[in-house]
Chains A and B, each alone.
Chain A
């Protein structure tokens, strides 16, 4: 049986701790990592100090006709700053791409009730695809600070390997593949399935759903704990609207406050 971890239950009668609300933060750096992929560095001490890998922030455009926030997984932290990485896919992300150092942006977060659980010592396999890679960069950053873990990253790209350099700063065991060459399963199947049989194996995955489903199945056959970071169209991001649900064995479940990280065995694929 794959290993599982338990999900903490909430006490409905407890008064929740007050969280910082929507706020305006400075843009520190804007860097293109590929043609349409941008890394944004923002200054927010609360996010930089408290965000856990898998958690996300909501960013708001300045455009009064585009009011809804967009969720982005935290890709790394440094001092009082944090980064997010996004692709320009629509008008909202195009507006974010025009931000420059010295500009400001409105944000909320960090959000996400369940982050990647990195407590387990042993081997970690980080399997990311496309724009699912950024949360794994942050997981790798945190794992690099844990001496009882060893991290291998398997990254799949449509074309440009935009995150390899950043992942290599966290782990030398970084492997990647582009669509023209194959997919992450191609790489996974070339690995020694259980390099350290005496060590527990934890898989963290984020990317397109079919990829994560294949990774989940690979984890099942290799007796690994698999944690999936799920994506869904979001409304508020903080649990009020109940728009961002995915089907799980517990019913329709919010990706924002009950995720975005789930044990892969709870997802109805």
Chain B
């Protein structure tokens, strides 16, 4: 029997303690799991958690109920999510008044509340368990498998679920060389965007001369619309830490850093707590699990700079400097943080490591495509029915992600493109929806895997605006060190802005392409080298749309103000007068029972009439 807060002094302690925990949890027949990921927490799920706790405490019935805070389930669209065991009953969009009823009916009475179940919008079928929902059943959850099951603030939950067994295995029976061999055999590639083979990186670092090596976890997830790493750090922080300890063992590092965005306070809190628990248990610090291997981790918070996702900029930041990238002609595995050999991997990459050790490199390599193995987590957002976090095997088609998991485009609009790879990624059009999700496949299409943002766009999205938006984002986030990125992005933004204003010039597309080529060839870091991807990919697939802006001063998606007009559909107009009253410049005329009209000369194209019309009678033409 190992006492509940004992320090582990041997690898065998882990399995013994996990067994002990599992036996103990059998005694608790009912468990309520409330998601407190950022998405659900924004809809007040913490309050739900408190209410369930109170209900459990006050319950006169002699039944043991455990209430758990758990990490993100991924189905943020339908939050707050509450899961009840036994039965894995999946309730969605739970509100405060529901708590008492759930407690009485489901937890005590064992009856399912139909109205809180997910209903398939197509078939009308209700799903009792998550696995029955299309959003989940197409997914393959490896990295996210414990998200939503365990309480991220309790190391015991992670241990009971088999946590740190990979570390125990490594320390008790594997040499560093064998660890690296397994990672190489898995063909795991970096999940942060670059896709560099992790095993090869580790080997180079192990072979690099010099002591004081470092292990770094990149948690500076800056892509707008991406929250994969946040959900892992918040929902399962120990999986990241375990991966890092194993990595440190493999390359021979004694100090590790986790670099987290300051905008992720919950992730910082959960990681900080997890590190403290890990130290107490003898899983971090001197002589881990009684071996002569020592390693510790510190958390460093970012200061708000997208470029710090770039590894050399992140290192500059970890050295207390502005996050400016530097040349990588000498690799970081040779000379990284403070000039020492350094391995830097992103959150999702680290999380995969314990799985690979436990199941073997071959198991991992059996998932996915020839050159992209394992699974990948994406944050599926934009104009799609189901937004949320999804984990799929590499090689699945974009169509299955968008249509089956995502449920297709919102409001019956037509699909136009899916943007992958973050701001430096690209837009993939409908004709390539059957492309497989794979590092090389996406690159071939002019986009990239990136860290896993996936933004769905519909027919109302102007692709020139999309390019402009990302170029503006990157221009604001450029560190300004090298000439092509700093000056080139400003020049490209200048050109894109004039195109969206209807002031495009005949040779603007050629100019954009030339600038794009210059950036790709001459910029210092990956941010600059790939900054033109949004422009190049939109020109590649939507050139006609650019030409309409430039030659005809027309925005086909009717998004660029001034490049389309408003018109009232006389048949749809009910002459209610709302548009007329709301027009800020009195550009609408009409009387009762007479369809209204817009005087184009007076109209400032502000769009108020379009917003206000209750009958959708105002058209964009």
Query: Are A and B co-members of a single complex?
Result: no
